[in-house]
Amino acid sequence: MTPPRAHEDCAPGEGESTRSVHAGRPPAEPYEPSLPGPVFAAHYHLPGEATGPYTYGRDENPTWTRLERAISELEVPEGPAETIVFSSGMGAIASVLLSQVRSGDTVVLPSDSYQATRSLQQRLESYGVAVRLAPTAGDAQLEALLGAKLLWIETPSNPALDVCDIRRLAEAAHRAGVLVAVDNTLATPLGQRPLGLGADFSVASGTKALSGHGDLLLGYVTTRAPELAAQVRRWRKTVGAIPGPMETWLAHRSLSTLALRVDRQAANALALAEALRDRPEVTGLRHPGLPGDPAYQVAAGQMRRFGSVVSFTLPDRDYAERFLAGLRMTTEATSFGSVTSTAERRARWGGDAVPEGFIRFSVGVEDAADIVGDVLRALDGVK
């Protein structure tokens, strides 16, 4: 087996957990909190010329600024980079697609991406933008790059967990004059850093593992290019896709435990995948960190952590529903990346090319033995 490529190390004396705890926080001041509370403001006092930095609540907010700096430090530790936060992951995704393309342009989307991302195809086409679809696996999007304006990558893909080579796709896209955006939601910046692999945008739903507690909606876009950041920020201002200060503050607070959570979840996900390998009722088992998974070699070359999601298929819809009903500790929910384990029969929503018995399982931070025990007990109980 070919060994994985070496990953870039953290700066001396600054490990990823340390960075996660301190990112975006102001210098220590006597008698002040280490993370100032949320700023609730629609307007600011503006004497003379209104030059900012804070002029109106739809433009900027000090609470956003701190979180944006923190995420930039995680996405691009060597700097510089700019992050723009949004009210949801789809707000962030739409901001890149709709700020960068015009009528007559072509966008390449993964045919197996998050279904809400693919739902933008109709909107883009109504604006005169051509959309090409190609699957994630095997770097198939390479064949669709000619004449495109923007390539959208999602790796690992949601929900099938296929992986593509970001560096290879980005190099080919840039040779063709194509911008590259990567949906990094499942991996998080502690799992992979798309900008370091050549992408122009790293985009994610902070609703998932970044904030990690299943209690807020958030999204973000990070880029190294000031002109691209300005275009995305202008789009946010124009459409008003802004996050609330309380959600922003909660997300920043949650970053302190990000490394602890994703380390535990990755270990738990691998333990669950290994426990499911020999179950006769389980087919199509996928987890990018599982040796032998079709995505493992590519994932190991660009990911430092493999995420919290395990997917597998049970014999049919009824079998899957009985399995889910038998889970005692695991919540049946549609999101992933939370500290609590969740699972769902993904085909219930439609829009994804998955079998009726397909299960997307998001592993939490509970004890691995308890997660595995809950799943195996539910499988054993299906009659």
Give me the sheet containing 179-183, strands edge to edge.
Answer: 82-86, 219-223, 201-205, 179-183, 150-154, 106-110, 130-134
Asked if pLDDT for residue 29 goes beyond 50, the answer is yes
pLDDT, position 52: 85
Q: Where are the alpha helices (DSSP H) in 11-88?
A: 16-22, 62-75
Q: For residue 289, give Cα distances in angstroms to 3, 9, 135, 203, 231.
A: 14, 20, 20, 22, 36
CB-based burial label for 115 (10 Å; 0-12, 13-18, 19+): middle
pLDDT per residue as tens digits for the range 125-136? 999 999 999 999
pLDDT of residue 353: 86
- C-alpha–C-alpha distance, residues 216 and 206, integer Å: 8
Above pLDDT 90, what percent of the chain? Answer: 93
pLDDT of 4 over the 60 cut: no
pLDDT band per the 50, 70, 90 thresholds, residue 14: confident
Cβ(71)–Cβ(229) below 8 Å? no
Looking at residue 360, its pLDDT comes to: 97
The residues with which 205 forms a beta bridge, in sequence order, are: 219
Q: Provide mean pLDDT across the span 63-80.
A: 97
- What are the DSSP calls for 146-182, one per residue? TT-SEEEEESS-TTT-----HHHHHHHHHHTT-EEEE
Give the tens place of pLDDT for each residue, 136-153. Answer: 999 999 999 999 999 999
Total-model pTM: 0.94
3-state class of 377 per DSSP? helix
302-325: pLDDT as tens digits: 999 999 999 999 999 999 999 999
pLDDT digits (tens, 9 = 90+) for 190-231: 999 999 999 999 999 999 999 999 999 999 999 999 999 999
| Domains located in the chain, CATH noted | 16-257 (3.40.640.10), 259-380 (3.90.1150.10)
Residue 125's CB is within 10 A of a number of other CB atoms, namely 12
Residues 6 or more apart in contact with residue 369 via CB below 8 angstroms: none
Structure tokens at 348: 């219930």
- Residue 361 pLDDT: 98
Structural contact between residues 284 and 358, judged by C-beta atoms closer than 8 angstroms? yes
Output the pLDDT for position 350: 86
HSE-CB at 271 with a 13 A cutoff on CA atoms is 20
